Amino acid sequence: MYSDIYVLIQWMITLMDNGKTTTIYIMRHGQTEDNVLRFIQGHNDSPLTREGIDATRGRAKMLNGIMFDAIFCSDLERTRKSLEIVLEELDINAIVNYCSDLREIDFGQLSGRNFDAVKDIILLHKKQTQRHYADGESGDFFNKRVLGFVETVLGEREGETILFMTHFGVIESILTHYSIRLDDRLNTKNYDMGVLYFNKKGVSHKWI
């Protein structure tokens, strides 16, 4: 694990030295029925609510005029549907890549259960990231999956403008890795969106 982090840091130093800025817009899927019920989804899926559809459409309009070179979307249905709404609102010619690496963490046997009923178990796994959820992933494996994907995209798409359509856990993993404070709005508004800038000055972020 530490060797992987070292490679990522070395790669980031190289990227920052060349003067190019890679911009990644990160958007969470719209609110789902399970979000409203506070059910854990993980790799399970649930339909978007009307609020989720309308809010995603509103967020999409804020991206109007941005020329994306590439789009990467989790291959789960709630993110696919959210991206479909975004693409309906915008005139984007970028190729869409559906990726399992942008999936939410696999909560295993906790999937489908009420969050409040198993909150203590989830908090324990967040503190002890080597623990695997029963029939699911560990936090360490999840973070390695997500950050490895980010590293690959940055290496192949240097200097480009990119859109990620993904999940809360993925956004949390990325922002935590780069020591960026997670916005409390993400806990209540699934459709919040942020931008990451990678250049020679370092990594910066803003919420939209």
**How many other C-beta atoms are found inside a 10 Å radius of the C-beta of residue 18?**
10
Domain at 193, CATH number? 3.40.50.1240
Helices (H) and strands (E) in the chain, counts: 7, 6
**How does pLDDT run across 41-95, given as a tens digit for each residue?**
999 999 999 999 999 999 999 999 999 999 999 999 999 999 999 999 998 888 8
DSSP state of 75: S
> Which contiguous run of DSSP H or E holds residue 84?
helix 77-89
Contact between residue 8 and residue 151 where contact means Cβ atoms under 8 Å apart: yes
**How many domains, the chain?**
1
Residue 5 pLDDT > 50: no
Residue 180: domain span: 2-207
Choose among 163, 161, 166, 123: nearest CA to 145: 166
What average pLDDT does the chain have? 88
Choose among 33, 7, 11: nearest CA to 22: 11
> Which range is least confidently modeled, 83-97, 113-127, 190-204?
190-204
The angle at the Cα of 99, spanning 127 to 13, to the nearest 5 degrees, equals 65
Predicted pLDDT of residue 75: 98
Contact between residue 191 and residue 55 where contact means Cβ atoms under 8 Å apart: yes
Predicted pLDDT of residue 188: 53
